[in-house]
Amino acid sequence: MVLWFHEPHLKLAQPEAFTQKYAEYGKIAGEYYANIDHMDHQIGRFMNYVKKENLEHNSWITFTSDNGPKNLEAGWEGRSTNGLRGHKARFYEGGIRVPTVMYWEGKIEGAKVVDEPLTFFDFVPTFYDLFGMEPMNNEPLDGVSMLPAFESKTIERKTLPIWMGRWKTTLREGDWKVIAKFEDYIPGTSFNDYLVHRKLTTFELYNLKKDPNETEDLSQANTDILKEMTGLIEDRVVSVQKEIVAWNGLWVLPYEVARMYNPKLPSKKEFSKLSPEEQDLMKSVE
Identify the CATH assignment for 160-286 out of 3.40.50.280, 3.30.1120.10, 3.90.320.10, 1.10.3470.10. 3.30.1120.10
Q: Is residue 119 within 8 Å of 162, Cβ to Cβ?
A: no
What is the arithmetic mean of pLDDT over 53-82? 91
What's the CA gap between 236 and 215, in Å, rounded?
25
Strands (E), the chain: 60-64, 100-104, 162-164, 168-173, 176-182, 200-207
Residue 139 above 90 pLDDT?
A: no
Look up the pTM and report it: 0.88
Higher pLDDT, 63 or 277: 63
- Residue ranges of domains in the chain: 16-150, 160-286
What is the structure's pLDDT at 34?
A: 97
When pLDDT is cut at 50, 70 and 90, the band that residue 286 belongs to is: very low
- Say how many C-beta atoms besides its own lie within 10 A of residue 118's C-beta: 19
- Residue with more model confidence, 121 or 257: 121
Whether the per-residue pLDDT at 55 is higher than 90: the answer is yes
Judge whether residue 78 has pLDDT over 60: yes
What pLDDT does 57 receive? 92
* pLDDT of 248: 67
Spatial neighbors of 79 by CB under 8 A, at least 6 apart, are: 32, 69, 70, 72, 87
Quick one: average pLDDT of 210-235?
98
> Over 70: is that where the pLDDT of 110 sits?
yes
Residue range 183-198: average pLDDT? 87
The Cα–Cα gap between 128 and 94 comes to 30
The whole-number pLDDT of residue 68 equals 92
- The segment with the largest mean pLDDT, out of 20-24, 73-77, 191-195, 252-256, is 20-24
pLDDT in tens, 228-283: 999 999 999 999 999 888 776 654 567 777 778 888 888 878 878 888 887 776 66
